[in-house]
Chain A
Amino acid sequence: MTDASWSQTAREPEFGDYLELLKPRVMRLVVFTAAVGLLAAPVPVHPVIAAASILCIAVGAGASGALNMWWDSDIDAVMSRTTGRPIPSGRLARGDALAVGLVLSGFSVTMLALFANLAAAGLLAFTIFFYAVVYSMWLKRATPQNIVIGGAAGAFPPMIGWAVATGGVSAASVAMFLVIFLWTPPHFWALALFRNDDYTRAGVPMLPVTAGERVTRNHILAYSLVLVPVTLAPAFSTIGGPVYLAGVVLLNARLVMGAWSVRRRDAAAAASDKYRAEKRFFGFSIVYMTLIFTLILAEAGLRSAGLAPAHWPALF
């Protein structure tokens, strides 16, 4: 190989290309929900330990994102939402993503075990395994229930945060898990409705691809209705309170209204205004999740300031 040829062909990646493998936007939500889980727990954690542990959780989540990009680079290349990712756009090789994913998975789990405890590290390891192997490799291409079960991966971070503080699992941390777990399907089905062409082309069996728009719209409403009691339940637990209850009632009213307007439309109506209601529902679902965890955080803040009511019925 001559000196001239390598500088023409070698396309050296930048640092930012590797950072992109970690899905920074997903990471942001993981950091937030893990931090809320940690702060809502009844055991105080030293701020340095808390920050280091949350960093481990974020890096672990990023590692599972890199493993997902390694495995799914073929379908990422044909979906317009994902063609710009580092592997399909030719900035990194598949092996780079595999290496980054494996190394960071090992590192994040080991460091979390040392910084916090084995329960938190075990949950993080299971989350990475669940997202990379159960969701990406197994369910995503096999069943329209892919995101229903796969949503569990995104629901673990608050439980890990809680385990960092308490060293275990409890009813309140499972309640936070269930909120994200049941929120994920309607959130992604709304996206799948207006990105249907993408998923069809990539052969990913999302619900609108396999069962049609009508069924998907019904499912979005059904899951939104199930979310109402599931998000109300934590109000009557050790992490809830009157502020949470009031906020969640309003958020659920808005969610069900949005789901209803998605439910009563058909494909023709949606196509005529370029899926406006579906896009609005998708956008609101992100606000909904963020605000629910903000409310849990607010209750934790009120408790530590001594402003929580003394006789609130905390059932679990």
Chain B
Amino acid sequence: MKPDSHEIYGRRRSRNLGLGVVLAAFVLIVFAVTVVKLSEGADMRSPDNFGEQPPGSH
């Protein structure tokens, strides 16, 4: 058996792939939700600015 063909690499590969897919999906979900919230007019400013009028609104 060649040292780099041990079944341990298959297990590691499945973990790396799985985690990669999960992270990519997480990024996509946050992006999609952000787009939807902004297009619905949600106030996405930092809490520092709560209570202030958005720039250019008056």
Complex partner residue of B15 from A10, A14, A49, CB under 8 angstroms: A14
Are A12 and B12 in touch, CB under 8 angstroms? yes
| A55-B29, A115-B33 as given contacts; A15 in contact with B8, CB under 8 Å | no
Smallest CB gap from A116: residue in B: B33
- List chain A positions with a Cβ less than 8 A from chain B: 7, 10, 12-16, 18-19, 46, 48-49, 52, 55, 114-115
Are A52 and B17 in touch, CB under 8 angstroms? no
Are B8 and A7 in touch, CB under 8 angstroms? yes
8 more contacts with CB within 8 A, not counting A18-B15, A52-B29, A114-B33, are A10-B8, A12-B15, A15-B15, A15-B18, A15-B19, A49-B33, A49-B36, A115-B33
CB-CB under 8 A from B2, the residues of chain A are none
Q: Least Cβ distance of A195 to chain B in Å?
A: 32
Instruction: Give the secondary structure class of B's interface.
Output: helix
- Residue from A7, A15, A16, A55 whose CB has the most chain B CB atoms within 10 Å: A15
| A10-B8, A52-B29, A55-B29 as given contacts; A16 in contact with B36, CB under 8 Å | no
Are A14 and B6 in touch, CB under 8 angstroms? no
Are A13 and B33 in touch, CB under 8 angstroms? no
Complex partner residue of B8 from A12, A16, A48, A114, CB under 8 angstroms: A12
- List chain B positions with a Cβ less than 8 A from chain A: 6, 8, 11-12, 14-15, 17-19, 29, 32-33, 35-37, 40
CB-CB under 8 A from A49, the residues of chain B are 33, 36-37
Q: Least Cβ distance of A132 to chain B in Å?
A: 22
Q: How far is the CA of A264 from the CA of B37 in the complex (A)?
A: 57
CB-CB under 8 A from B11, the residues of chain A are 12-14
Are B12 and A46 in touch, CB under 8 angstroms? no
Are B14 and A48 in touch, CB under 8 angstroms? no
Smallest CB gap from B37: residue in A: A49
Smallest CB gap from B29: residue in A: A52
Smallest CB gap from A114: residue in B: B33
Are B18 and A46 in touch, CB under 8 angstroms? no
CB-CB under 8 A from B6, the residues of chain A are 7
Are A48 and B15 in touch, CB under 8 angstroms? no
Smallest CB gap from A16: residue in B: B14
Q: How far is the CA of A114 from the CA of B42 in the complex (A)?
A: 12
Q: How far is the CA of A224 from the CA of B50 in the complex (A)?
A: 52
CB-CB under 8 A from A114, the residues of chain B are 33
| A7-B6, A7-B8, A52-B29 as given contacts; A15 in contact with B36, CB under 8 Å | no
Q: How far is the CA of A19 from the CA of B14 in the complex (A)?
A: 12
CB-CB under 8 A from A16, the residues of chain B are 14, 18
| A7-B6, A10-B8, A46-B40 as given contacts; A15 in contact with B14, CB under 8 Å | yes
